[in-house]
Structure 1
Amino acid sequence: MPVSFLFRVLRPITVLVLSAVVLLTSCQAKLIYYPRSYHEGYRKVLAKRSGARIEYTTGQGQQVAHYMPPMNGKKPTKVWLCYGGNNYLGLDWMQYLTAWDPSFGYLLMDYPGYGDCQGIPNPGRIRDSSREAVQALARHLNETPELLLPRMGVLCHSIGCAAGLMAADDLNIRRVILIAPFTTLTEMGKRFIGWPLCYVNMHRFNNRRHLAHVVDKGAKVVIFHGTADQVIPISMSRELAAAHPGRVTLHEKEGEDHNYILNNIGVEVGDTMSSL
């Protein structure tokens, strides 16, 4: 076959592939994260619940998490770090808190660029934000991180599971609740854009690796996943749980989908938080 013919055939294919790579590299953050800002309604509810802004600084600038103290007015028996999905704000968790143990406190996390936080999210920046947020919360509670961390847990949904597992790994948090986690973001990319473009992924969240780390450190891990989840397949949670038999508990929720699962299993999640 003449070289010139091969060149004519391969050139448009090469241009198409390179164009796709450049496009995915330049805008993939917009495909992964969907930042939102707070409106006045959120602030009114925060004030009504006596919540506090926890301000701290990272390389991305000023960051703000929100602390919801125990409803019984006492020192928190446990403090849960809460991470939502890619279109979720920290204060969206408030709709569930009144149904859970009144002795718990909650640190409701926002990613860089979300809510009142400056910056642009990526795995490393989210990881930095979690570490600094816990330090800032300890100062707010007039405690040392060493005294606070043994009482902490992470509660997270969807892409928030990646943030929560990184925090648990970095901070040696021993209570972990995951709702609809994926294995890796690269494998999620393979589902949506196929091979080999999935490997262009620059946001390499790896729940498989971080789950292994926290389990090896003795964490108790519970996973909830809906059987009707069309965003993140339940097969991913099955794989994560199967890798750690006896140490990771998976609850398969029949008929539950990705976006509304927490609305329907809130009581069970609350009971799990109390038992861990």
Structure 2
Amino acid sequence: MTSEKQHELEALALRVREHIVRLSTDGGCFTGASLSCADLLVYLYADFLNVHPGNLTDPERDYLFLSKGHDVPALYGTFAELGFMPKERLNNHLKSNDSIYWHPNRSVPGVEFHSGSLGHLPSVALGVALDARMRGQNQKVIVITGDGELNEGTVWEALLVASAHKVNNLTIVVDRNHFQANIATEDLIPLEPLAPKFEAFGAVVKRIDGHDFVALEEAFSGLPFSPDKPSVIICDTVRGRGLPSIERRADRWFCNFSSDEVTSLLEELHSQEATKLTSETLTVR
């Protein structure tokens, strides 16, 4: 990845995080989890997947299913920035005259399937991947799960079927931010060692930094990892990424900030970005 492309993606991710913060008021949203997933969604839609506002009904487009539906502020923020919907539509969040609310709704262009009840979309994505293969098509099918979502047995059942039928065009991506709701995953039902679990169910696994666009490109450009197995990419992320005041906090899963708090958080977000850019400049020198 060129440095120019990397900077473009980072700038886009910053704008998506701004949307997430702005959606965290007047009823709130799942702020922390959405911030952990922003870089991943930005990379997939802006650089990797063949899906854009002009081909949403093309049966040969790529597919992304957001199984951890409470990350929808990151998804809608990405859609708004990439032209899937007008940015002004985000102002309808939680309004009765629109479908912009806490989980994905198919009335929003680009949303492939409703989600919210965790554990179901790996099976839906598997069905789409099988259908594509039966039709002789070669599109990519990605499903993003949360790490706490892995407590749902349907995730593993889908993976068993994918492995049995050698569905190599299915990729499960785990947003591994180490929290589920208001508790750390390892304090509730420990998931680690996670990669060997996926391997035992017949997948080929890679684990990367989910906030590093270079690492994301290196991993996704290698898909499928095997000609006869599904792929899994575990993305280690940080809940609340970009806002140190709420990063890695169990109580910052769902947030409903006041307008003054939103203003303060936006300032914090930009302050962190300025600090990062200054650090990078000094490193280059």
Q: Which has the higher contact order (CA 8 A, sep 6+)?
A: 2
The structure where strand makes up a greater share of residues is 1
Please tell me the TM-score bracket, short chain as reference: 0.3 to 0.5
The alignment's TM-score, normalised by the length of structure 2, stands at 0.34
